[in-house]
Amino acid sequence: MYSEKDLTALKDFYTDQLLNNTVPFWFPRSFDEEHGGFLLMRDADGGLIDDDKAVWIQGRATWMLATLYNTVEQKPEWLEGARLGYEFLNRHCFDSDGQMFFHVTRDGQPIRKRRYFFSETFYVIAAAAYAKASGDEQAAANARRVFGKCIEYATTPGLLSPKFTATRPSKGIGVPMIMMNTAQQLRETIGDIRCDEWISRWITDIERYFVKDDIRCVMEQVASDGSIIDHIDGRTLNPGHAIEGAWFILHEAKYRNNDPHLIDLGCRMLDYMWERGWDKEFGGILYFRDVFDRPVQEYWQDMKFWWPHNETIIATLLAFLMTGKSKYAEWHQLVHEYAYSHFPDKEQGEWFGYLHRDGSIAQTAKGNLFKGPFHLPRQEWYCMKALEIKPGVISKN
């Protein structure tokens, strides 16, 4: 159980890590003053291993910088960085059909486009946060316009070319999750009247189709009617991802004056996937599990990646702050201690991204096509902010 003093110490810890370790690892050295955007693919010592730009991470870094500016301190460096990122996204990351690329060169030539619209969702949160930071009306209009396109992609079957045939229709939890968080960010920066209704719909989707109380599980994908697809891919669970979904829902519960149904839903999701994801032998969150404990095909299934730990630190802390239940404090302490004792590079700052199951470091990159200044600084920022407000609801339990 955490005391008020423990919580204050945690707040100070996350604040210090964020501002004196994580953010300074990345910025300002990653600003690309020549071509715009950020140079984020870096080795342990910060040396550049690739000057390409991952569009997801360009958007996420823009969001992070603008969010720090909006909510922590109006540092000109952060606003300037957000502007660099936002302008690079506008100038180089949209294809002529309006879809965004996934991977571009340093000077913005396209390398790869994917059949998803996650580049677009990260653009929305980047443009919205930048619009709030800068007062740029065009950025606000762009955020709203691309958000509308994301809704269209999410709700119009066949609009994006599919990776699979129609033989075995399935849907993933990723789309409602990321759309919910995109809408939350849009709402909480520049506001948009569509957000509340869409968030409710996506939460209903998640609860109806993906959360399985009978087997205590959150599915990563299901058939159109929500049934489990009993094949390797259909059975594959992503505990860290489902736990990220849990805290998006707890965040919504908080926004809606501690809506008890949403608190219960978020906590159920966390409970189920903690049970399935926490590695009782070595500690840490396993990357994939099979719903029926069969072998998982993805090769890295039992590795420990940085980001599921960031999501679980947020989810367990938020669950504790909103319910006061001691088990969430215990889980938070477990995952926090596992994460901060295994992932950080004590010499050169920030976290390693990829550990073997036993906690040893699998490789040293701090940034690549998928890792950059997002999950870790977002966690430290979110936890710091969540702990700023004295948790009134905490009860003995």
Nearest distance from residue 380's CB to its own copies, in Å?
23
DSSP H helical ranges for the chain? 4-17, 23-26, 55-71, 76-92, 118-134, 137-155, 174-189, 195-205, 232-235, 239-255, 260-277, 306-323, 326-342, 375-388
CB 186 within 8 A of CB 144: yes
- 295 lines the binding site for its own copies (CB under 8 A): yes
- Which residue among 140, 296, 318, 384 contacts its own copies (CB under 8 A)? 296
Stretch of 215-223, 262-270, 301-309, 328-336 lying at the interface with its own copies (CB under 8 A)? 301-309
Stretch of 161-169, 273-281, 319-327, 372-380 lying at the interface with its own copies (CB under 8 A)? 161-169
Residues in a beta bridge with 171: 222
The footprint of its own copies on residues 26-45 (CB under 8 A) is 41, 43
- 168 lines the binding site for its own copies (CB under 8 A): yes
Report the alpha-carbon distance of residue 327 to residue 174 in Å, rounded.
27
Q: What would the two tokens of residue 186 be?
A: 């849009």
- 395 lines the binding site for its own copies (CB under 8 A): no
Nearer to its own copies, 9 or 232 (CB): 232
Nearest distance from residue 31's CB to its own copies, in Å?
20
Stretch of 133-141, 150-158, 249-257, 364-372 lying at the interface with its own copies (CB under 8 A)? 364-372
Nearest CA to 88 out of 52, 112, 55 is that of 55
Report the alpha-carbon distance of residue 84 to residue 264 in Å, rounded.
41
Report the alpha-carbon distance of residue 217 to residue 275 in Å, rounded.
9
Report the alpha-carbon distance of residue 245 to residue 242 in Å, rounded.
5
Site string for its own copies, 44-83 (x = CB under 8 A): -----xxxx-------------------------------
Query: Where does this chain bind its own copies (CB under 8 A)?
Result: 41, 43, 49-52, 105, 109-113, 163-165, 167-168, 231-232, 294-297, 299-303, 305, 354, 356-358, 362-365, 368-370
